[in-house]
Every structure is written in structure tokens, then in C-alpha cells.
Amino acid sequence: MKITCKKTKSRHGFTLVEILLVVTIIGILAALVIPKIAGRGQDARIKAAFSDVNGGIKTALGMFEVDTGAYPKNLQDMVQQPGDVKGWKGPYLDQQNLVDPWGHPYVYVYPGRHNPSSYDLYSTGPSGQDGAADNIGNWQTGQTGQ
């Protein structure tokens, strides 16, 4: 007498129901997470401009003033040595640091209108318009442009 054993085939892969369940779960997670992340780009650009105006560029302007005894006439003097300035030890900034996160040039006014004994440094913000409510300047205390 001969005994035969049947081997069952092992199942590989996923069923259609399992795949649909995973896709549904990913869709639900994406619907919850994406709206929270989507609006952060503008906030990040505002914070970056505020940091440039009140941090990096401000520090470079202070170094220029310490080295030369006066603030520069324009921001380009921070990148290339002006012919009439003694004690220049720059460059104090790279050319790419002279534009804000929206691609607009930072505005530098010396002496300043808001800071008459010093300088005004500001970004024209998302609108790119000078004097608009979204300008971000070194005379402001918050990161919202007020």
C-alpha cells in the first residue's frame, strides 16, 4: 500500500482586500497630516526673513561698522570693498544673502527713517511692495511684520 502526502502550497503576496485596507489607511493619514504641513512654508519664510534682518545681516553690519568706523552706504559694500572705505576686512556677506526668502532684495536705508541714529533694514515681504503691511524690518519686535 502506498501512502501519498499532499503538500499545500504556501501563499505568497497580499489579497486585494488587504491592499485596499492599507491604501485606505494611508489616505486617511495623508488627509490628516498634509493640511497641517501645507501652510508652514510661508511661516518659515517669514521667520527666515526676520532672522536675517535681526540676526545674520545685522551682525555683518555691526562687523562692518567696527572695522571701518561707519555703516555702509549700501548693502553691496558688504560684498565688495568700496574704494573710499579704509579698514574693510570683508566680504561680510555673500551676494546670495542680499535677497529675502521671496527673492526680493533686502532694503537698507542709512540713516534710517525708523532708526534715525542707526539704519533701517527690511524685507518687502511676500508682496514685494515697499511700505506694505507685510514688510519685515529691524524696528519691529515680532515675526509677523507688525
Residue 52 has pLDDT above 60, yes or no: yes
- Residue 27 pLDDT greater than 50, yes or no: yes
Distance CA 137, CA 12 (A): 62
DSSP 72: -
Quickly state the pLDDT bin for 117 (edges 50, 70, 90).
confident
51 CB burial (10 A radius; 0-12, 13-18, 19+): middle
Give, in words, the CATH class of 43-137: alpha beta
Sequence ranges of the domains in the chain: 43-137
pTM over 0.75: no
Provide, rounded to the nearest whole percent, the portion of the chain with pLDDT above 90: 23
Grid coordinates given for 85: 572705505
